[in-house]
Each structure stands twice: as C-alpha cells, then as structure tokens.
Structure 1
Amino acid sequence: MTFAALRWLRAHFDLSSDMADPAEIMTDVEDGLVFKGTNLWVLIFAILVASVGLNVNSTAVIIGAMLISPLMGPIVGIGFGAATVEVDLIRRGLKNLLIAASLSLLVSAAYFKLTPLTDAGSELLARTSPTTWDVAIALFGGAAGAIGFTRRERGNVVPGVAIATALMPPLCTAGYGLATLHWSYLFGALYLFFINCVFISVSTFLVARILPLPQHQFDSGRRGRWVNRGIWAVALLTAGPSVYLAVGIVRSTVFMHNAQQFVDEQLSLPGTYVVTRRVDASPRTINVLLAGKHLTPNQLRTARTRLAQYRLADASLTVRQGLAGLDSTDARALRTSLLEDVRSRNEQTLAGYDTRLAQLQQLLVRPDSAAPANPALPAANTLLREVQVEHPAVRQLGLGQLVRPAAGPLPADTTLVVSLSTSAPLPAAEQQRLRQWLGLRAGTRQPVQLLVNTPEPPAPKSALVKSLV
C-alpha cells in the first residue's frame, strides 16, 4: 500500500517528465542575462510605462509594464547558476541585475523629476512598505517561475510570475522617492525590491537543485568541492538575512493589525471619530487624532489598560483630541485618504455606468421584458418566401415590434409590425387575409400591424409631355 502511494505521488508530482532539454534551458537563461540592444530598450520603455502607471494610479498600465519587463532574467540566472555551480553565470547575473536596477532607478527618477504630476497615489504608496505577503509571493512565485521556465511548453507561467512578484514597480517607486527626496519611499521600495530578488533567487536555486540539471565539472575535485561549499555558503548567507527580514515583517504586520483593531474597538466610541492614525511598528508607537466628543481621562486610562489584551503592552499610545492637534503629517495623511476615497468613488461610478450601459444595450436588443422577441416567427427572408407563395406581388418584407410601455392602469403592450413592398396594389380583402395569416403564423395574441408600400403608377406620357411644355 505504501509503495503504491509513493508510485502515485511520483507519477503525479514528477517534474522531469515534461522538462525541456538542459542545454536549451541554459541557453534561455543566458539569453535573459544580456542587457544590450533589444533587452536594454525594452527595459527602458518598461520603466517609463510603469512610471506613468504609478503616476496616474493606473493598475492596468502597471500590469502591462510588468509583463514586458526583462528584469526576471538576471534573477533567474543567479538562481540557476548557483544550482548548476556555474560561477560565471552567477557573476554575470549579479552584474546585469545591478546595471538594470541602477538604470531603472535613474530613468524613473528622471521621469518623476520632469512630470507635472507629483502626488503619490495609492499604487505608488503600496510599494513603499513590504508586508509578509510580499515575502510569500516572491518565494512561491519564484518557485512557480523556475518550474515554468524549465518546461518544454511554458504557457503563461512566466508572465504570471512577472506580474505577481512585481519587480518593476518598486524600482520606479524608488525613483519617485529619489526625485522628490522622499527617503522613506526610496528605501522602502528598494527594500521590497531586495526581498523580491532574494526570495526569487533562493526559490529558483532550490527548484533547480531538485531538477536533473547537469552541474559544472571542475578539473580538480578539491576545487569543485570548495566552489560548491562557497555557493552553499553564499546561498545561506543570502537566505539568512532574508529570513530575518521576513520574521521582522511578520512581527510588523501583526503589530499593525493589532494596533488597527485596538483603535477601532477602544477609541472609535459613539460620537468620537478617528481622523488620522499613525502606527509605527519599529518604535512600536500608536499616534491617533480624534475629533468629535472628547474622551474623558477615565476612558483614556481604561483604553491604555486594555493594550495588553491586544498584545500591545509595550506600545506607546498618544491620543490627541480636537482638530487643533492637526500637524503636517496628519494633513498629508488626510490628503492621501481623500485621494484614495475619490479614486474609489470614481471606480464605483464607472462600474455603475458600465452596468447601466449593458442594461441599455440589452434594452436595445429586447425593448421590453414583457415583450420578448417572438421565437415562433422565422427570419424575415424566410417569411417573405412563405408570403410570396400566396401573394406573389410582395417583393420585400420587414419585421419589427412596436412597444408601448405601461402607463398608469394600462399594461405594457407590443404590436408586431410587418412592412411590405409590393409590385402591384394589394386589395383590402387580400391584406385582411394576409394579416390574419401572419397572426396565426406568429402563434401569439399580439396584434399585427400591416404596412403596405405600393409604388405609384407611372404618369401617362401625354401628361408628362404637357408638364414639360
């Protein structure tokens, strides 16, 4: 039973069955390392596209920049070089990654220095403070990218990893911080970029070590052992700080969540409103500005005693009451909040417009829900052939519906309109028979309105001559 389960697991989770040829994989890895010619221009344009997307707060534009960005190449190269003991591949990957990152930083800084739009939108601010989820995304996304990169048919895995790990937007955000001298934005975004690079390389290294890829062979076995040990030491030294950073991010995220919950439950009392809240996990401080009904000293003391319930016993709580305590940091936070609220409302309004437009388009196709298109009637050209059997003078036929919406006590009603063009006048009795036949053919109680368009007889030649004279 155990062996059967192991065979099933191996058959379903084997990564070597559809793996591409190792030589082809290494050729693709080396091609992604190069930053000259096409790759260099693509990188520059991707930087500009991402900068514009961050500048105008457009998610779609940012996603497009991530799709065309070639930044994944050097990072993947470093991971594969470490796994296959190719020291030259690691060296070139680090060199090209440094060149690409520096170029991205300079080009994005130049753009944000020249653009007249200087406000930091929500998309830009989201790249200034890494979270636990960024670490997880980089780790799992890098593993998925390494697996997809080694397949014979890659599909959409690699582009999806480029979107998920988001290497380009943090660099452009750092460029914004450099151009506007917001050092917290600069170092926060570079911090996020560093986390993404390290964890993508580490996950690529681990996946590549599992795959049956040939490793570099050295002339001296002793030298090969030293190189292997050196690569493992570098990998551990790189992953060690990353794990430390990840632990710090987890603690920071937990503190932020607990602080937000504490403010919402203990300080947002009836009649009292939280204007701004500044939560900093590094010195573990909570700074809140309240408006409305002032909290009494007893209420504030009670709130402070409950910090321990939210695992915030060592946190420093500062409560300011009244708009007189508003400072420049609060003003910036309020502006950012208002901009985000306006953007959210605009998106909701546009979504409402799209829904309404879709409803109107349906109404154009189906004018009234009480009067659906009659499925018993064939197409106009088919009905024309049937009519011509009994009425050969009919040359053209058109179908339509006249909808009368409900008004007061009168219900909605629909009239079937049949327009005919004849080569000769139809007698009244023949029109009546045709109207009755159409009603039976429609199989409904809807009234039928028959419109007959008969061409006028030509004027006599004598009358035409007299009119000309």
Structure 2
Amino acid sequence: MFDVLRRFLHTRFLLTDDMADPAEIQADVEAGIAFRGTNLWVLIFAILVASVGLNVNSTAVIIGAMLISPLMGPIVGVGYGAATLTLDLIRRGLKSLLTASVLSLLVSALYFRLTPLSDAGSELLARTTPTTWDVLIALFGGAAGAVALTRRGHSNAVPGVAIATALMPPLCTAGYGLATAHWSFLFGALYLFAINCVFIALATFLVCRVLPLPSHTFVSRQRAQRVQFSIWTVALLTAAPSVYLAIGIVRDGTFTHNAQRFVDEQLNLPGTYVVTSRILPRQQALNVLLAGQRLSPAQLKKAQVQLPRYHLANAQLTVRQGLARLDSADAQALRSSLLEDVRSRQEQTLVGYETRLVQLQQVLERNNTAGGGLPTATALLREVQVEHPDVRQLGLSRLVRPAADSLPADTTVLVAVRARRPLPIAEQQRLAAWLSLRAGSRQPVRLVVETQALPAAQPARSRPARRR
C-alpha cells in the first residue's frame, strides 16, 4: 500500500520529466545576470515606469514595470551559483545586483526630486513596511520561478513571479524616501527589498539542489571541500538573518492583528469612534485616539483587563480622548488610513467593472450567435453566400416579446441581409426556409432583405475638341 502511494506521489511530483538541458539552464541564468546594453536600458525604463506608477498611484502601471524589470536575473544567478558551486556566477550575480540596486535608487530619487507631485499615495505607502506575507510570497514565488526557469519551455510563471515578488516598487519607494528625506520610507523599503532578494535566492538555491544539476568540478579534493564549506557558510550566514527577520515579521504581524482586534472589539463602542490607532509592535505599544462619547475610567479599566485575552498582556495601552489631543503622528496615520480606504474602494470598483464587462461580453456573444442554434453572423454569411452570392452583408439580433395578459413571452431571431441587387421573392422564401431549418426550429426566424444602394452615376465630362 505504501509502495503504491510512494510511486504515485513520485510520478505526480517528479520534476525531471520536462527539465531542460543543464547547459541551456546555465546559459539562461548567465544571460539574466549581465547588466549592460539592453538589460541596463530596460532596467532604467522600468525604474521610471514604476516611479511614475507610484507617483500617480496607478496599480496597472506598477504591474507593467514589474513585468519588464530584469532584476530577477542576478538574484536567480546567486541562488543557482550557490547550488552548483559556481563561484563566478555568485560573484557576478552579487556585483550585478548591487549595480542594479544603486542605479535604481539613484534614478528613482532623481525622478522624485524633479516631479511636481510630492504626495505619497497608498501604493507607495504599502511598500514602506514588510509584512509576514511578503516573506512567504518571496519564498514561494522564488521557488515557482526556479522551477519555471529549469523547464524546456518557459511557462508564464516567470512573469507571475516578477509581479508577485515586487522587486522594483520597493526600490522606487526607497528612492522617494531618499529624494524627500523620509528616512523611514527609505529604510523600510530597502528592508522589504532585501527580504525579497534573500528569500528568492534561498528558494532558487533549494530548488536547484533538489534537481540533478551538475556541480562545478575542481582539480583538487581539498579545494573542492574548501569551496563547498565557503558556499555553505555564506548560505547559512545569509539565511540565518533572513530567518530571524522572518520570525520578527511574523511576531510583529501577530501583534498588529491582535491589537487591531482589541481596538475593534473593546474600544469601538456605540457613540465612541476610533480616529486613529497607532500600533507599534517593536515597542509593544498601542496608542489610540477616540472621538465622540468619552469613556469613563471604569470602561477604560475594563478594556485594559481584556488585553491578556488578545495575547497582549505586556502591551502598553495609551488611550487619548477628544480631537484636541490630535498630534502630527495622528494626522499622518489618519491620512494613511484614508488613502488605504480610497485604494480599497478603487479596487472594489475595478472588480465590479470587470464583472460587469464579463457579463456584457457574454450578452454580446449571445447576441452574436443569436441563440436559436445559428452560428455567428460572419460564419452564417459565408454559408449563405454559397447559394446566394449577391448577399454582401448579414446581421443577427433577437427580438424579445415579454409576456402580456394571456400571451406567453417569445423570442424571434431577426436575420437582416443586404444584397447588391433585389432578390426575387422565390429566392427570399427559399433563403428564409433554409434559415429556419439551419436554426433547428428552436426559435422562429424572420428574414429582412435590403438592397445595397449603388452610387449615383457620375456625369461624363465633355472633352475639348482637339485641334488639327
């Protein structure tokens, strides 16, 4: 039983069936590492596109910049080089990544220094603080990209990984922080970018170690052991801080989630409104500004007692009541909250538009096919012209008659044709009978025939008599 299950899982999850040739994989990795010529110009244009998208708060523009960004190449090269013990790939990958990062930061800072739009939109603010999900997205996205890169035919997973891991927007956000002296934006965005790079490289390293890829060979056994020891040491030293950062991010995310639940359930009472709630996971602090009906000391003490229920026993709770206690940090938090609400509403509206568009496309498709078993107007015209070559145009529509009094609802398929000459009555009757038969007698078919209007004859111009 266990052998059957093991063989089934081995067959289903085998990664070597459609794996590309190792030489082809290495050639693709090396092509993505180099940052000169085409890759360099594409990087600069992607930086500018992403900066404009963040500047005007356009999600679609930011996605386009992530699609054309070549930043994934050096990161994948570092992970692949570590897995195959190729020091040159690791060295070139780190050098290209550093070059691309510095160039992206400078170009983005220059753009935000020159642009007249200096406000930070919701898209930009979303890249200033890493979350738990950013770590998981980078890890799983990097693994998906590594698997896709090692296949014979590259799938659409590579562009998807570029979008999901979002390497370009954090760098542009860091450029905004550098240009406007928002140092928290600068370091927060660089922190997010570093997490993405480390976990993508780590996922690539793990996937490539699983695959049967040839490792670099050395002349002496002692040198091979030293190189392997060095690479594993560097990999562990790189992964250890990232794991520590991941644990910290998970801890901060848990604290933020619990604190938000506490505010929503214990302080958002009838007649009292939460204006801002500043949650500081590192300081284990929760600072809340309330407006409306003031809470009594007994109510505040009751809320304080409930903190252990939300795993916030060591949290420091500060509750301020009245808009007179509003400070600059509250104003910034309120502005960020409003921008996030606007962004959420825009996304909901966009989803509603897309749903409505799909519905309209379905209605249009039904109208084109006209129901009743007839094909599309274009296909039906080709069939009609076989027996009636004078027909030049054909259109389909449905005439729906709703139920009224004792009359049931019914639908009639209208077929309008335009011919270059008047069709005889017998030919029209024959065409109408054929259309009814072609429709399968599911719905009545009515034929409307029009004659194509010929252009008016131009009067002949008189030619002057030639002199002899």
Shared fold per TM-score greater than 0.5: yes
Does structure 1 conserve the Cα–Cα contact (< 8 Å) formed by 2:125 and 2:336?
no
- What residue number does 1:169 align with? 169
In the TM superposition, residue 114 of structure 1 has moved relative to its aligned partner by 1.5
- What residue number does 1:222 align with? 222
Q: Distance in 1 between matches of 2:66 and 2:416?
A: 56
Change (3 A) 1:191 1:396: closer
2:329 is the alignment partner of 1:329: yes
Change (3 A) 1:362 1:277: same
Change (3 A) 1:328 1:161: same
In the TM superposition, residue 237 of structure 1 has moved relative to its aligned partner by 0.7
Change (3 A) 1:16 1:344: closer
Q: How does 1:440-455 map to 2 (within 5 A)?
A: none
- What residue number does 1:179 align with? 179
- What residue number does 1:279 align with? 279
- What residue number does 1:60 align with? 60
Q: Distance in 2 between matches of 1:76 and 1:400?
A: 54
Change (3 A) 1:292 1:21: same
- What residue number does 2:93 align with? 93
Secondary structure in structure 2 of the residue aligned to 1:251? helix
Letter in 1 for 2:247: V
Q: Which moved more, 1:264-273 or 1:208-217?
A: 208-217
Change (3 A) 1:409 1:115: farther
Secondary structure in structure 1 of the residue aligned to 2:215? coil
- What residue number does 1:313 align with? 313
Q: How does 1:137-156 map to 2 (within 5 A)?
A: 137-156=137-156
- What residue number does 1:126 align with? 126
Q: Distance in 1 between matches of 2:219 and 2:334?
A: 65
Letter in 2 for 1:267: L
Residues 308-362 of structure 1: CA distance to partner in whole angstroms, max 9, x if unpaired? 1111111111111111111112222222333333344455556656666777788
- What residue number does 1:112 align with? 112
Residues 226-266 of structure 1: CA distance to partner in whole angstroms, max 9, x if unpaired? 11111111111111111111110111001000100000111
- What residue number does 2:457 align with? none
Q: Distance in 1 between matches of 2:21 and 2:363?
A: 56
Q: How does 1:254-265 map to 2 (within 5 A)?
A: 254-265=254-265
Change (3 A) 1:58 1:406: same
Q: Distance in 2 between matches of 1:50 and 1:155?
A: 24
Residues 384-441 of structure 1: CA distance to partner in whole angstroms, max 9, x if unpaired? 999xxxxxxxx99999999799899999999989999997999xxxxxx9xxx9xx99
2:40 is the alignment partner of 1:31: no
Does structure 2 conserve the Cα–Cα contact (< 8 Å) formed by 1:401 and 1:414?
no
Q: How does 1:3-42 map to 2 (within 5 A)?
A: 3-42=3-42
Does structure 2 conserve the Cα–Cα contact (< 8 Å) formed by 1:50 and 1:169?
yes
Q: Distance in 2 between matches of 1:397 and 1:42?
A: 47
Q: Distance in 2 between matches of 1:104 and 1:397?
A: 56
Residues 187-244 of structure 1: CA distance to partner in whole angstroms, max 9, x if unpaired? 1111111111111111111221222222222222112111111111111111111111
Does structure 1 conserve the Cα–Cα contact (< 8 Å) formed by 2:372 and 2:443?
no
Secondary structure in structure 1 of the residue aligned to 2:332? helix
Change (3 A) 1:313 1:38: same
In the TM superposition, residue 18 of structure 1 has moved relative to its aligned partner by 2.0
Change (3 A) 1:152 1:123: same
In the TM superposition, residue 54 of structure 1 has moved relative to its aligned partner by 1.4
Letter in 2 for 1:281: P
Does structure 2 conserve the Cα–Cα contact (< 8 Å) formed by 1:51 and 1:172?
yes
Secondary structure in structure 2 of the residue aligned to 1:214? coil
Normalising by structure 1, report the TM-score: 0.79
Letter in 2 for 1:67: L
In the TM superposition, residue 144 of structure 1 has moved relative to its aligned partner by 1.6
Secondary structure in structure 2 of the residue aligned to 1:17? coil
Unpaired segments of 5 or more residues in structure 1? 387-394, 427-432, 456-469
Does structure 2 conserve the Cα–Cα contact (< 8 Å) formed by 1:284 and 1:315?
yes
- What residue number does 2:201 align with? 201
Q: Distance in 1 between matches of 2:39 and 2:104?
A: 13
- What residue number does 2:462 align with? none
Q: Distance in 1 between matches of 2:276 and 2:81?
A: 49
In the TM superposition, residue 9 of structure 1 has moved relative to its aligned partner by 3.1
- What residue number does 2:456 align with? none
Q: Distance in 1 between matches of 2:107 and 2:350?
A: 33
- What residue number does 1:267 align with? 267
Secondary structure in structure 1 of the residue aligned to 2:275? strand
Change (3 A) 1:223 1:292: same
Q: Distance in 2 between matches of 1:156 and 1:211?
A: 20
Number of residue pairs the alignment of both structures matches: 437
- What residue number does 1:302 align with? 302
Normalising by structure 2, report the TM-score: 0.80
Secondary structure in structure 1 of the residue aligned to 2:6? helix
Does structure 2 conserve the Cα–Cα contact (< 8 Å) formed by 1:170 and 1:192?
yes
Structure ID, larger Rg: 1
Letter in 2 for 1:342: V
Q: Distance in 1 between matches of 2:51 and 2:417?
A: 59
Letter in 2 for 1:105: L
The percent identity for this pair of structures is 64
